[in-house]
């Protein structure tokens, strides 16, 4: 699991998550998210390189969305990989 910052300006940040978003990487993923949730900007998350996601990964995304939106900023997921699409479809969530 790897989080990379792709782009950043004063109002917006684009993050890419790579690898697994599963219970095995959940702790690291959460820690990796801290700094973006400290100073919240409009956020885009690229999930095209996510190889695997489970409910804990879904939960982290839900949490992030909740946090970002509570600060009146936008949270958007772009390029979900097939696995991501699948869980979104199952849980009726599109972000």
Partner 1 sequence: MAEKYDFNEAINVFFIESREMLEDMENALLDLEKDISDSESVSAIFRAVHTIKGSAGMFGFNDVGDFAHILENLLDKIRSSEIETTPDMVNLLLECNDHIIKLLDYFDANREEEINPELNSVSQSLLNKLNSYLPAGAGERKKEQAKNASDLDSGDMQVINECWHISLRFRKSIFKNGMDPQSFISYLSQMGKIVKIKAVTDAIPPAKEMNAEECYLGFEISFMAYTTKEKIEEVFEFIQDDCIIRILPPKSDLNEYVALIDNLPEETMYIGEILTEVGSLTKKELSEALKLQEGLKKDSKKRIGEIVVDEHMVHKPIIEAAVNKQSNIKKTEDKIKKTMRVDTSKLDKLINLVGELVISASNMERLIHESGNSGMANAFLQMSRLIDSIRESSMNVRMVEIGESFKRFERVVRDISREKGKQVDLVFHGGETELDKTIIEKVTDPLMHLVRNAADHGIELPEIRAAKGKPEKGIVKLNAYNEAGNIVIEINDDGAGLDRQKIINKAVERGLIKEEDLESVSNETIDELIFSSGFSTADTVTGISGRGVGMDVVRKNIESLRGSIIINSEEGKGTTIRIILPLTLAIIDGFLVKAGGLFCVLPLNSVVECSEFDNDEDVRLSETGNYIYLRDEIIPYVKMKDFFESNNETDSMGKIVVVRYADRKMAFLVDEAFGEFQTVIKPLGRIFNKIEWISGATIMAGGEIGLILDVSKLLGYLKIVETRNIS
**Site track for partner 1 across 68-87, x = CB under 8 A:** -------------------x
Q: Are 94 and 58 in contact (CB under 8 A)?
A: no
CB-count exposure of residue 54 (10 Å: 0-12, 13-18, 19+) = middle
Site for partner 1 (CB under 8 A): which residue of 11, 34, 72, 94? 34
CB of 62 to partner 1, least distance (A): 4
**What is the CA 10 to chain-centroid distance, rounded?**
20
What is the rounded (10 degree) CA torsion for 87, 62, 55, 21? 90
The answer to the question of residue 1 lying near partner 1 (CB under 8 A) is no
Where do contacts with partner 1 occur on this chain (CB under 8 A)? 23, 26-27, 29-30, 33-34, 37, 54-56, 58-60, 62-67, 87, 90-93
């Amino acid at each position: 699991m790897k989080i990379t910052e792709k782009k950043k300006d004063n109002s917006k940040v684009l993050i890419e998550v790579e690898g697994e978003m599963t219970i095995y990487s959940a702790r690291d993923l959460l820690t990796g998210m801290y700094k973006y949730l400290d100073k919240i900007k409009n956020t885009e998350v690229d999930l095209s390189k996510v190889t695997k996601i489970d409910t804990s990964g879904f939960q982290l995304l839900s949490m992030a969305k909740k946090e970002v939106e509570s600060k009146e900023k936008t949270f958007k997921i772009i390029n979900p990989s097939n696995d991501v699409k699948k869980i979104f479809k199952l849980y009726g969530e599109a972000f």
